[in-house]
Structure 1
Amino acid sequence: MNVQPAECDRQTYSDHVSTESLGVFYHRKYTASVHRELGNRLIQEDRFVFAPYMIPERNDVSFFGIFDGTGGPFAADTIQNTIIEHMVSTDAWKSLMTAIDSAETGSTKIRQLAATAMKQAYANADKELLELCQKTDEHYTASTGVTVLLIKDYIVVAHVGDSRAAICYEDGGAYVTRFITTDHKPHSPDEKRRIKAAGGIVVYSKTRHATTFLRCGDYLKRHARGERPMQIQYSRAFGGKELKRCGLLCEPDVSIYKGLHQHKALIIASDGLWNVFKTRTAFTIVLRAHSNGMCIVLIVHRHKGKNPSITLVESAIMKNTAESRNSDNITSIVIIFNA
């Protein structure tokens, strides 16, 4: 299914199905697609927001996000449904919308307002989520978040946790690919210091390779009493009510880039994808699928369609299957900028 702008004009797309694709969305500045697969998991905990026309009265503001839940989908569900509302209700957002249309506003001011709006949106969405968790006894639910705001000629990327964004651009006639987010892990020096200062502890797993967990200091005592104390593999997240007192934050890192036309493509995805592919492989798959006008799974197996996100996600699942590995939930949003 190819969805033209006239057919999905001024809508925000998000859903709760285990496997789905919205098709390819053609914007005057970019082509975007999204796809999500359950993998070998019993529950789909990934959620996404796909809003090419986020604001009805203008066509130069788009918003995309992926939220990878843990401890059930409640946190990811909630953030999926509230993050845009929290963003547009901030004072910084209102100032940003005024500044972005003024020829007199400098780039530095726009960057400051955009970063503030995203940080306030994450904080306010997390506050609402924690209140809902308290009311509904959802003590263990949490979610990562990686979001992309395209506004005028700016790319604003924010994230908490280990869902990632990667970018591709041309330099000297060759494509360069790299991550533009850094995972928030408990063992990172700055994160570890903050966690310990808050009374939390960082534990290295004896059974899972290279995995560290954030726990509260009373974890073992509570576990011995038969309770179910929470632990988590990242140091920043939405939700995680029980761990907020022990150093878990929901303050996003925000990076801002100017010049959509200077970049070739952008991928945001849950860790189910990035545990399989490096950035160069991921961009090779989606750019070839886009240029050939069909999905090419691992550049060998072909099937009908023109959705690079389907190509990418199914390629990851096929690679896991070929190597006898289970697949996590995988969600990918691919944005390919027009030259």
Structure 2
Amino acid sequence: VRPPGSSVENVMRSLGFGFACKKGLKPDSPNQDDFAALCCSAFRLFGVFDGHGPSGHDVSGYVHRMLFALLLTDESLNRNPQLALRNAFVATHQSVLAYAAHTERFDCSLSGSTASVVLQTQRRLFVAHVGDSRAVLARQRRDGVVAETLTVDHKPTIPAERARIEAA
């Protein structure tokens, strides 16, 4: 709930986060991004999801909802956030494939989504991601703000990623 008269940008600024979204270069392709932010007293949870393919907008929305639901109901979230994030990513992947196999809503052979999730507790920051949506941390320094990239893109053009894909 935001205070009356406040814009989304002001609320994000007051909570210390932001996001950027830019449509791709293909003029006839829709923007298939999705994002979410959940802030409570125990933690903050942020997610960016970028769909691709004919049903990318459906996949990114599904991944956003499923990933957050699985993460927030995982009993290990408070004890072991890394495990909870891993569990949520694996289960979301399995859920997307199962859903696609039993519905005509989207075809995962042609569509999919990236996912970058940041879980901020009082003392730690946990990052998990698949694909090429980046998580970036802005650090205030004496000489200004410095951007620190927290993720490495999963792209087959990167030699280490290509080797991982070919070995799978």
Query: Structure 2-normalised TM-score?
Result: 0.78
Q: Tell me the secondary structure at the aligned position of residue 164 of structure 1.
A: coil
Q: Which amino acid aligns with 1:188?
A: I
Match of 2:120 in 1: 150
RMSD (CA atoms): 2.8
**Is the aligned partner of 1:90 residue 2:74?**
yes
Q: Distance in 2 between matches of 1:80 and 1:117?
A: 15
Higher-RCO chain (CA-CA 8 Å, sequence separation at least 6): 1
Residues in 2 aligned to 1:192 and 1:34: alpha-carbon distance in whole angstroms? 29
The percentage of counterpart residues that share the same residue type is: 25
Matched with 2:32 is 45
Q: 1:61 aligns with which of 15, 18, 43?
A: 43
Equivalent residue number for residue 228 of structure 1: none
Number of the residue aligned with 1:222: none
Aligned-partner Cα distance in 2 for 1:65–1:117: 15
Deviation at 1:180, TM superposition (A): 1.4
Pick from 13, 16, 24 the counterpart of residue 10 of structure 2. 24
Identify the structure with the greater strand proportion: 1
CA distance in 2, matches of 1:190, 1:31: 34
1:191 equivalenced with 2:161 (yes/no): yes
Q: Please state how far the C-alpha of 1:38 moved relative to its aligned partner.
A: 5.0
- Report the CA distance between 1:115 and its aligned residue: 1.4
Check conservation: 1:147, 1:158, Cα contact below 8 A: yes
- How far is the alpha carbon of 1:186 from its aligned partner? 1.2
Deviations 1:89-133 (A, max 9, x none): 33421xx2xx4xxxxxxxxxxxxx221111111111111111111
- One-letter amino acid matched to 1:46: D
Counterpart pick for 1:174 among 143, 149, 156: 143
Bigger Rg over Cα: 1
- How many aligned residue pairs are there? 159
Q: Taking structure 1 as reference, are residues 177 and 31 closer, same or farther at Cα in structure 2, changes over 3 Å only? A: closer
CA-to-aligned-CA distance 1:16-42 (integer Å, 9 cap, x gap): xxxxx83432687x3334565657454
Unpaired runs of 5+ in structure 1? 9-20, 54-58, 100-112, 199-339
| TM-score, normalised with respect to structure 1 | 0.42
Residues 1:170 and 1:37: Cα distance change in structure 2 (over 3 Å): closer
The aligned residue for residue 60 of structure 2 is: 76
Question: Is the Cα–Cα contact under 8 Å of residues 60 and 151 in structure 1 kept in the other structure?
Answer: yes
CA distance in 1, matches of 2:155, 2:51: 16
Distance in 2 of aligned mates of 1:147 and 1:7: 29
- The CA distance in 1 between the partners of 2:22 and 2:152, in whole Å, is 24
Letter in 1 for 2:157: H
Q: Give, as a single letter, the amino acid of the residue that structure 2 aligns with 1:22.
A: V
Structure-2 separation of matches of 1:151 and 1:7 = 29
Local SS of the residue matching 1:25 = helix
3-state secondary structure, aligned to 1:92: coil
Distance in 2 of aligned mates of 1:129 and 1:167: 29
Unaligned runs of 5+ in 2: none
| Corresponding residue to 1:116 among 83, 87, 106 | 83
Whether the aligned pair in 2 keeps the contact of 1:25 and 1:33 (CA below 8 Å) is no
Q: Give, in angstroms, the shift of residue 169 of structure 1.
A: 2.2
Contact 2:139 2:148 in 1 (8 A): no
Q: Aligned AA for 1:63?
A: L
Q: Distance in 2 between matches of 1:35 and 1:178?
A: 15
Q: Is the 8 A contact 1:48 1:66 kept in 2?
A: yes
- Residue in 2 that maps onto 1:299: none
Query: Aligned equivalents of 2:50 and 2:30: distance in 1?
Result: 12
